[in-house]
Amino acid sequence: MSAYGVLLDRVNRVPGVRGSMVVALEDGLMVEDDLMVGVPGAAVAALMASIFRRARKSLEGADFGAAQLVQVEAEEGLLFAAAPPQLGDLLLVVVAESWVNVGLVRLEAARVVEALG
């Protein structure tokens, strides 16, 4: 299993997570994915990368610094994209149920990303 695969596998163990991906920030293409059947990974990857780029541009323009994490909350789910420095120009994108423990997802992602670095 690749280093990214290990990262995704650990994040996916958090209850409520429906899958995760490593996505290229610039073009929104999936680099590695581990998703439940039925999750349209390519579309989510493209949309989350786009939202992330927009957020980054906006906040940098307003002197708030570079966006590191974007979380989109919906009535029945949650999307999460993080750009840790260890991943370079890649994003970690997580698709989860609305009842997921967000803190746990973030903690697990941070731990694994740290190990990657």
The residues of the shown chain that bind other proteins, judged by CB under 8 A, are 39-40, 43-44, 47-48, 50-51, 54-55, 57-59, 61-77, 79, 95, 98
Tokens of 27: 């073009």
Which is closer to other proteins, CB of 9 or CB of 26?
26
Q: Is 96 exposed, middle or buried (0-12, 13-18, 19+ CB in 10 A)?
A: buried
The least CB distance from residue 2 to other proteins, in Å, is 25
The least CB distance from residue 83 to other proteins, in Å, is 10
Residue 23 CA to residue 91 CA, distance in Å, equals 5
Strand, helix or coil for residue 84: coil
- CB atoms near residue 114 (< 10 Å): 10
Which is closer to other proteins, CB of 1 or CB of 15?
15
The least CB distance from residue 24 to other proteins, in Å, is 16
- DSSP character at residue 91: E
The least CB distance from residue 39 to other proteins, in Å, is 7
Which is closer to other proteins, CB of 2 or CB of 50?
50
